[in-house]
Amino acid sequence: MAKCKYCDEDAGFLSNFHSDCEEKYLAGIYETKTLLRTAILGETDFSLTRRKIEVIAEDSFINHEKIKSITQQLLLESIDNALSDHLLTKDEEEIILSFMRYFGIEKEQIIDPYNKLGKAAILREVLEGKIPSRLKIEGTLPIVFEKNESIIWLIKNVIHFTEKTTTHFEGKHHGVSVRLVKGIYFRLGESKGYPVSETEKVNNGSGLLVITNKNVIFIGENRPLKLSYKKFLTVQPYDNGIGIHLSLKTAKPHFFQLNDVWYTYNLIYNLANLKL
């Protein structure tokens, strides 16, 4: 005879749980989620919430690992809700971080959602006219920074492209060639040829994109590149990257293939328009 997976008592013939035990367990799960949702909205005290959950867990056969899993699940749900409008208020950020500290959830356990949280906070500060200083860098970068220049964000494995335009002539020419001097000829007669220009993107390799409060810097396989916000004409988002056009007449447009286009575009665009 099998044991009940909840109370560990005999469950009866061909069964591994008691119906009333399962009902109590599911009700306890529901109550726990309700309490955590209320707490992460800032409507109840964390310590009171924890005490209530401990009582529920004891009465409903919910083990510590399950409580931990539910707590993390509700945290991720809260982060998604906070970022649903692509904005993060200071209050939303503070209560989420307080919840993590109190219930012992480390950022390494939720690395991707935690990074999204950090990105949203950086955007908020830029929109408020502030220079964020949240990024912690291990080691050094081979960059000589300008006075009062600081790194806002780094993106690895970015591919840099520039445009190259070539021109050739197509069509026929009827006439005769007249020799002017040795090796140089001039063709006389009717020309039906016409120039054809073709533009292609040239892959300049992959590297590190460094976004500061003054420049966008690319450190790649070839020559380093620095694009000053003061010389920006346009910043354009694409499906797989961003394009930057400078105001200089001879400047070629630059394209950077990367992930998280929405964040990168909004960060660079707003930093370029930041009045300091």
Token pair for 131: 């220079």
Separation of alpha carbons 57 and 42, rounded Å: 22
Cα–Cα distance between 216 and 266 in angstroms, integer?
13
Q: What is the pTM of this model?
A: 0.80
Judged against a pLDDT cut of 70, whether residue 193 lies above it is answered with no
Domain boundaries, the chain: 2-127, 151-166+199-272
pLDDT of residue 173: 52
pLDDT in tens, 117-172: 999 999 999 999 999 998 888 888 889 999 999 999 999 999 999 987 666 566 55
Q: Which of 48, 72, 52 is nearest to 60 (CA)?
A: 52
Tokens of 200: 């292609």
User: How far is the CA of 175 from the CAs of 169, 171, 193, 195, in angstroms?
Assistant: 17, 14, 13, 19
pLDDT for 248 equals 82
Q: What is the mean pLDDT of residues 197-209?
A: 86
Topology (CATH) of 151-166+199-272: PH-domain like (2.30.29)
pLDDT digits (tens, 9 = 90+) for 217-270: 999 988 899 999 999 999 999 999 999 999 987 788 999 999 999 999 999 999
What's the pLDDT tens digit per position in 47-88? 999 999 999 999 999 999 999 999 999 999 999 999 998 889
